[in-house]
């Protein structure tokens, strides 16, 4: 699957790296470690609810919704009358989440202080002394072991602490002045204190700017993995040459808004980078994988500053996690992709810089959770399945016994023969590998050519009896026309009468509706029989 501008359909987070060192400096076995998780989880919920609380009191928005819902049933429109009730419920949720967030961080600050004063050589003590090495790679925000560094001192002298106190007080005043008694008897008090929401939202924006909660950097994580290297850090020998003997590096955890400009930018070309032009104006970019971790079917956002500093487009990764590089295929389908391909074709000495944000997860990651999988790609929508098929190839090479999937059906629909050349080599390698390993029936693929001319039809007719296909050169013959999905699903259901079948699509909406309908029609109501589950890449 490629980007909105470069493919038939696309997918729309990325998984966070493990924070096993813990900003509170606790070893993994410490039971209070969950305080950090409680603080961060409640913070995410606070941000969401702070956005949500404004919607029920936007009167113009409510009037607009009433107008658009005028053709709907009366009971649906009547739900808009409960806007103030919903506003109050969100406010109560904010108050509860604020209490959870504050209490959790009080526990964290107490642990910070305790770890900073510890001298027993434990992991929390060692991590707390990292500020002495300089360089801004500290983990514990308390840099003094004197009694002056109490929880209260840190809370009132840091940006997160001070803004936290301000927005908490503003929230308390707004909530308490909203009681029915005050609203009815002292409406001016309610009215003016409610305008503290301006201070609340301003403080909310500034609250996380100092980066008090820190985590290990991605580059450091590659060499000094927390679970593998914790004992080396606490018992470090002077002559130790193991990677784990290096000190881990920590940095602030950026907000989601700021990540795109500072998280995962990669220049192209570089060591291990490569540019390949495929037929039908499809550009393949292979980039370095240092510090980059991916799963099958994931996608990335790509920016080319030479074309536009602000435009970021999503593209599915076509490489496998087992490969030492990551790649994307970009089809010319829009102004941005046309200019990108032209830029790479015209540059002869120095290639343009490519910046990357991601990877982010999609439904395709779950393909190996099914015993049987049906993969359906339309045109350039084959890209997520290229990653999956490559990964299968590597798993067979490594004799992976943990592979749950026993059968894969792959369907590829293309309008022109040139598109088949993108991944012909991959399919040919899979055919050979499956045959050599005695699992030729593991992968069944069908290639459908939905548009053709007379010359192609005549050539196929003349060479009908050849062992390989005239169009692709593969053992499986290309089918002219579109799939009969009822027949395909019926055949899969008959071959796997007691299996759970995952159906994955990267293609147009019309095809999605057809596949979803077939999934419902051919799934049995009996839980002991075949079930089809539909998964579509969304963007």
Question: How confident is the model at residue 145, as a pLDDT?
Answer: 61
Question: How confident is the model at residue 64, as a pLDDT?
Answer: 73
Question: How confident is the model at residue 172, as a pLDDT?
Answer: 93
Q: CA 407, CA 389: separation in Å to the nearest integer?
A: 12
Phi/psi at 195 (5° precision): -80, 0
CATH code assigned to 364-536: 3.40.50.80
Q: CA 402, CA 411: separation in Å to the nearest integer?
A: 25
Query: Contact 291/351 with Cβ under 8 angstroms?
Result: no
H or E element in which residue 228 lies: helix 226-234
Question: How confident is the model at residue 309, as a pLDDT?
Answer: 81
Q: What crossing angle do the helices spanning 187-194 and 159-176 adopt, rounded to 10°?
A: 150
Q: Which residues are within 8 A (CB) of 117 and not within 5 positions of it... i.e. 6 or more apart?
A: 145
Query: Contact 101/6 with Cβ under 8 angstroms?
Result: no
At 155-171, the pLDDT tens digits run 777 888 888 899 999 99
Phi/psi at 105 (5° precision): -70, -25
Please count the other Cβ atoms lying within 10 Å of the Cβ belonging to residue 461. 9
Q: CA 250, CA 267: separation in Å to the nearest integer?
A: 23
Question: How confident is the model at residue 353, as a pLDDT?
Answer: 84
Dihedral of CA atoms 347, 351, 357, 362 in degrees, nearest 10, equals 60
Tokens of 170: 């503003």
Helices (H), 330-373: 335-346
> Smallest Cα–Cα separation from 362: which of 340, 331, 380, 387?
387
- Average pLDDT along the chain, 539 residues, taken 10 residues at a time: 38 37 42 72 90 84 67 62 86 93 85 76 74 68 62 76 90 90 84 89 84 71 69 68 72 55 50 73 83 82 85 86 86 85 77 82 81 87 82 77 84 75 71 72 82 60 55 65 89 91 88 91 87 79
Q: Is 383 helix (H, G, I), strand (E, B) or coil?
A: helix
Partnered with residue 377 across adjacent β-strands are: 412, 506
pTM over 0.75: no
Tokens of 279: 């037929």
Where does residue 404 rank: exposed (0-12), middle (13-18), buried (19+ CB within 10 A)? Answer: exposed
Phi/psi at 153 (5° precision): -65, -45
Question: How confident is the model at residue 13, as a pLDDT?
Answer: 35
Query: Contact 10/507 with Cβ under 8 angstroms?
Result: no
Q: CA 423, CA 413: separation in Å to the nearest integer?
A: 13
Cα distance from N-terminal residue to C-terminal residue, the chain: 10
Query: Contact 117/148 with Cβ under 8 angstroms?
Result: no
CATH code assigned to 274-361: 2.40.30.10
Query: Contact 355/365 with Cβ under 8 angstroms?
Result: no
At 90-129, the pLDDT tens digits run 999 999 999 999 898 888 877 877 777 777 767 777 777 7
Query: Contact 47/204 with Cβ under 8 angstroms?
Result: yes
Query: Contact 460/471 with Cβ under 8 angstroms?
Result: yes
Q: Which residues are within 8 A (CB) of 36 and not within 5 positions of it... i.e. 6 or more apart?
A: 19, 22, 23, 24, 104, 108, 213
Q: Are strands 250-252 and 214-216 parallel, antiparallel or unpaired?
A: antiparallel
Tokens of 80: 């808009």
The single-letter DSSP state of residue 415 is: S
Phi/psi at 313 (5° precision): -125, 140
């Amino acid at each position: 699957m490629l980007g909105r501008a470069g493919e038939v359909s696309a997918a729309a987070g990325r998984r966070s790296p493990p924070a096993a060192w813990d900003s509170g400096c606790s070893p993994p076995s410490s039971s209070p470690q969950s305080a950090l998780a409680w603080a961060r989880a409640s913070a995410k919920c606070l941000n969401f609810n702070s956005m949500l609380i404004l919607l029920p009191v936007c009167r113009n928005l409510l009037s607009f919704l009433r107008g658009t819902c005028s053709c709907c049933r009366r009971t649906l429109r009547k739900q808009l009358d409960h806007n103030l009730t919903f506003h109050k419920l969100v406010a109560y949720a904010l108050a509860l989440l604020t209490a959870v967030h504050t209490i959790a961080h009080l526990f964290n600050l107490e642990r910070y202080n305790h770890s900073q004063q510890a001298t027993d050589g434990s992991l929390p003590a060692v991590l707390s002394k990292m500020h002495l090495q300089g360089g801004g790679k500290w983990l514990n925000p308390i840099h003094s072991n004197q009694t002056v560094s109490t929880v209260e001192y840190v809370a009132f002298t840091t940006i997160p602490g001070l803004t936290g106190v301000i927005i908490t007080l503003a929230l308390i005043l707004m909530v308490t002045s909203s009681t029915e008694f005050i609203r009815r008897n002292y409406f001016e008090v309610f009215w003016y204190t409610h305008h503290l929401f301006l201070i609340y939202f301003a403080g909310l924006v500034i609250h996380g700017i100092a980066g008090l909660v820190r985590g290990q950097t991605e580059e450091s994580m590659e060499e000094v993995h927390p679970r593998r290297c914790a004992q080396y850090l606490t018992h470090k020998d002077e002559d130790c040459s193991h990677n784990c003997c290096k000190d881990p590096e920590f940095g602030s955890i950026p907000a989601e808004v700021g990540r795109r400009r500072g998280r995962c930018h990669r220049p192209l070309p570089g060591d291990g980078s490569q540019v390949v032009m495929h037929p039908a104006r499809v550009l393949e970019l292979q980039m370095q994988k240092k510090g980059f971790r991916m799963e099958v079917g994931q996608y990335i956002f790509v920016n080319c500053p030479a074309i536009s500093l602000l435009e970021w487009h999503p593209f599915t990764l076509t490489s496998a996690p087992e490969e030492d590089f990551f790649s994307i295929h970009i089809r010319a389908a829009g102004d941005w992709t046309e200019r990108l391909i032209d830029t790479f074709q015209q540059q002869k000495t120095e290639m343009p810089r490519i910046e990357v944000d991601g990877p982010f997860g999609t439904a395709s990651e779950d393909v190996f959770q099914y015993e049987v999988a049906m993969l359906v790609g339309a045109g350039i929508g084959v890209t997520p399945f290229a990653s999956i098929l490559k990964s299968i190839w590597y798993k067979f090479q490594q004799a992976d016994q943990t592979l749950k999937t026993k059968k894969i059906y792959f369907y590829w629909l293309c309008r022109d023969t040139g598109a088949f050349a993108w991944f012909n080599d991959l399919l040919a390698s899979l055919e050979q590998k499956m045959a050599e390993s005695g699992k030729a029936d593991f992968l069944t693929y069908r290639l459908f050519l939905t548009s053709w001319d007379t010359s192609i039809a005549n050539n196929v007719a003349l060479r009908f009896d050849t062992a390989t296909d005239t169009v692709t050169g593969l053992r499986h013959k290309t089918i002219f026309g579109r799939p009969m999905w009822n027949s395909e699903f019926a055949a899969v259901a008959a071959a796997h009468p007691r299996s759970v079948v995952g159906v994955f699509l990267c293609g147009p909406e019309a095809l999605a509706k057809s596949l979803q309908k077939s999934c419902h029609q051919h799934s049995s109501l009996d839980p002991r029989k075949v079930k089809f589950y539909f998964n579509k890449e969304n963007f």
